[in-house]
Structure 1
Amino acid sequence: MKLWGQAVLRGGIPLVIMSGISVALYAQGEAKDGRGTLFAALVFGVVLAASVIYDVERWTLARQTVVHFAVMIVTVLPLLFVSGWFPTRTAVDCFAIVGTFLLVGLVLWTAAFVVFGVLVPRFQARSTRDRVPH
């Protein structure tokens, strides 16, 4: 399947499920929770859809990271500003949103790098060695 199809599946499935939950919450009179769930669905869907960028094997990790970061800046960051999760009354509020965005992104990128760039290859190499007869 092409990357666009993978992106639609990865992002679309949780987006549809969580949007359904959001609609149900609105229907139950839980507008604030419904709105929060809808924005979580949008953020989660975008992040998962954009994860296909890391499947472009001909790109370096640096290029994948820069492209992914650019996608997050034009999608997730604006969603954080309009989600209602953070105050946006002052410049300090806005800088706090950007700082939170950057910090969470750095932590998640680092965790993913450690898991998928270090641990998984190490376990795969060990598993391959263990299957080879001595």
Structure 2
Amino acid sequence: AVAIEATSTYHVLLADLAYQCGHRIYVIDGYRLSNYRKGIGGRAKTDQSDARLLARYLAHEQNQLHPWSPACKAYRRLQLLLRRRATLVRSATALRLSFAQDRQMARELKPVLERIKRL
């Protein structure tokens, strides 16, 4: 069994590879892991201490965890597109707010925002 901390999308490649090699994968929420660290009196936050913490968490809590399995390709693609859309929306909002007080810049920005909207 392998425990991996969920880190945006960075953990997915490792989880996929380990799964393909026949390992049982458990993806652990970082917030839950952080609270577990506090609960056992852990303070240090290094890669090495995180690895030990994940191993301990898996050893003690495995019966409460659900094994991970890869999502289908369509679902992964949808997740990727939704993340990219969210990034575009945040960027467009930041640009709009940043240039709102300058009319000339707002005019210049209008085609950029329209292009982002179409994208």
Higher fraction of strand: 2
* Bigger relative CO (Cα 8 Å, ≥ 6 apart): 2
Q: Mark the structure with the bigger radius of gyration.
A: 2
- Higher normalized helix content (fraction of residues): 1
Same fold judged by TM-score > 0.5?
Answer: no
